[in-house]
Amino acid sequence: MSDDQQHQSGAPWRNFYGRIHGKTLNQAQKDYLEEDLPKLAPGPVTWEENPDREKLDLTARFGGKPVWLEVGFGAGEHLIHMAQSYPGVAIIGCEPYVNGVASCLGHIRRVGGLDNVAIHAGDARDLFDVLPDESLDKAFLNYPDPWPKARHHRRRFVTAEHLEPLYRALKPGAEFRVATDIPDYVRQTMEEVPRAGFEWLGESAEDWRKPWSDWFSTRYEKKAIREGRTPHYMTFRKN
């Protein structure tokens, strides 16, 4: 979207950091994006589709199922695992990286029969604009972009710009899970997430070394372990 288009649509200026496109997509991946992505949308999210920023009707979209959100689902491994494990729950996946979205769509097509997944291929902040307050039952942030340089830490998801709207969208008592292999991301998470109003459910550092009972180890985690980095699993609750 150009600056002029942003101005015409009324969208606020939002810097986006990170890759949107990777290597050239093959024809099958292009087909997934063209044919499957529109059917899996959670509703009108983009500023072009929803310039008045009307809230999504999640009850109509998902038939009254509890709704979970995964921010930055990568290739969709954890997202699809959770959708298969909890068919009575609807899961919205948010991912701006087109190649990852295409990979996830291909996986969904191959698995078949998943009617409880929705995909927003874009910035999580645009989705937060239109999520009703207290509409989500759980949220996941798995191996987010670490932005390791100190001057880039403000680009991380665990900042007020993202955490405050996430807090508003979660129901009281809802769980927010964060997994990362970057020690400084752990530090910032433990500082910023409670500051946004969440309560950490651990009692000691040992608690963040244990994965959740329904955890699915993704390719990113396996790579981290191969390279000698330690996964951390942090669980928070909205009070």
> What angle in degrees, to the nearest 10, is found between the helix axes of 98-111 and 77-85?
30
Cβ–Cβ < 8 Å for 236, 199: yes
Strand partners, 92: 69, 118
Taking a C-beta distance cutoff of 8 angstroms, is the pair 121, 202 a contact? no
Active site residue 145: yes
**Per annotation, catalytic residue among 36, 145, 184, 207:** 145
Q: How far is CA 134 from CA 19, 99, 164, in A?
A: 30, 31, 12
Residue 237: CB atoms within 10 Å: 14
Catalytic residues: 145
